[in-house]
């Protein structure tokens, strides 16, 4: 049986550091690399990035939308990105942000987490904003296959607070929606060791005062996008997460990919980020 995602995640960041590279083939980046915005350009870009960074970071995070826009041939490239990243020793967190109910959630979960699927990844991002209970099919499939989930909680986009900082009714604790999502994750993870498999997405540039990560740790992995070029630092991660910072992977895409197609430069960016995070997070 596949060990639980939390166990594999803890081992990966201990061995390879706490930096996650987003492999996001924006049309502008393809152009900057001298490539056409075609499926051929996509394939060259994405697989070159995998070759440059996947052997040196703990987690890679392809954003599915940038592959889907090329249709079935783009999905074929995504399948290769997943397979080749894992073959290079990196965990794959597929950024799909799916969220639905019932059998549709079940189908999404099987598409991305069942090892029999060509898109099977170690973990995916999901949205809880149809109610946390709508995520239960994802939770069950993840448990069955030793996979992980990263639930959107407090994202760094400017529109996020409209929903995430709204207050729930007294029936649901009268707290912010983001805090409620984190509390659900804490309950799911329980006392799992070394860390649970059900994580959160919390931006590396947020204020951080909305939840007490020190007093009520979620005991799960945390994805912190916005690190690097978007302004988030290792010091911010310590400020926001406290002792839970040891379970954080800080994510950046453009800060690494803009250095391509120079593979050595991209690898150097991964190594510098891991060194900076290690110096403050231990």
Spatial separation of the C-alpha atoms in residues 205 and 160, rounded to whole Å: 13
Where are the strands (E) in 103-247, listed by range?
Answer: 123-126, 148-154, 198-202, 222-225
pTM of this structure? 0.96
* Cβ-contact 3, 40 below 8 angstroms: no
Domain ranges of the chain: 5-156+185-280
Taking the alpha carbons at both ends of the chain, their separation in whole angstroms is 31
Query: Which residues contact residue 276 at a Cβ distance below 8 angstroms, ignoring those fewer than 6 apart?
Result: 233, 234
Length reported for the chain: 282
Burial class of 190 by CB neighbour count within 10 A (0 to 12, 13 to 18, 19+): exposed
pLDDT for position 48: 98
Question: Which residues partner with 148 through β-bridges?
Answer: 123
**CATH for the 5-156+185-280 domain, from 3.30.70.890, 3.20.20.70, 3.40.190.10, 3.40.50.300:** 3.20.20.70
What distance lies between CA 71 and its chain's CA centroid?
23
Contact 109, 137 (CB under 8 A): yes
Q: Which residues are the active-site residues?
A: 97
Task: Identify the pLDDT of residue 146.
Answer: 98
- Residue 205 is predicted with a pLDDT of 87
The Cα 247–Cα 13 span in angstroms is 8
pLDDT of residue 229: 81
> Which single residue is written with the structure tokens 């800060």?
255
Mean pLDDT of each 10-residue bin along the chain, 282 residues long: 94 97 97 98 98 98 98 98 98 97 96 98 96 96 98 90 87 86 96 97 84 86 91 90 94 96 98 94 77
């Amino acid at each position: 049986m596949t060990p639980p995602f939390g166990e594999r995640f803890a081992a990966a960041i201990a061995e390879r550091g706490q930096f996650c590279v987003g492999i996001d083939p924006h049309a502008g980046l393809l152009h900057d690399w001298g490539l056409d915005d075609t499926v051929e350009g996509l394939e060259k870009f994405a697989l070159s990035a995998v070759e440059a960074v996947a052997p040196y970071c703990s987690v890679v995070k392809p954003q599915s939308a940038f592959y889907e826009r090329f249709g079935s041939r783009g999905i074929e490239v995504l399948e290769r990105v997943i397979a080749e990243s894992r073959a290079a020793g990196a965990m794959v967190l597929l950024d799909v942000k799916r969220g639905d109910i019932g059998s549709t959630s079940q189908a999404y979960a099987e598409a991305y987490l069942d090892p029999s699927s060509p898109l099977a990844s170690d973990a995916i991002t999901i949205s809880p904003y149809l109610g946390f209970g709508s995520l239960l099919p994802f939770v069950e499939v993840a448990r069955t296959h030793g996979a992980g989930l990263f639930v959107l909680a407090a994202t760094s986009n400017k529109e996020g607070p409209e929903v995430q900082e709204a207050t729930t009714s007294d029936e649901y604790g009268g707290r912010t929606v983001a805090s409620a999502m984190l509390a659900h994750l804490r309950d799911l993870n329980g006392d799992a060791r070394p860390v649970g498999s059900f994580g959160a997405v919390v931006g590396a540039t947020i204020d951080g005062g909305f939840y007490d990560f020190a007093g009520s740790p979620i005991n799960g992995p945390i994805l912190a996008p916005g690190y690097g070029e978007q302004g988030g630092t290792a010091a911010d991660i310590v400020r926001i997460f406290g002792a839970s910072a040891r379970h954080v992977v800080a994510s950046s895409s453009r800060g690494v990919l803009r250095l391509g197609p120079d593979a050595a430069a991209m690898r150097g960016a991964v190594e510098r980020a891991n060194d900076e995070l290690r110096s403050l997070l231990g």
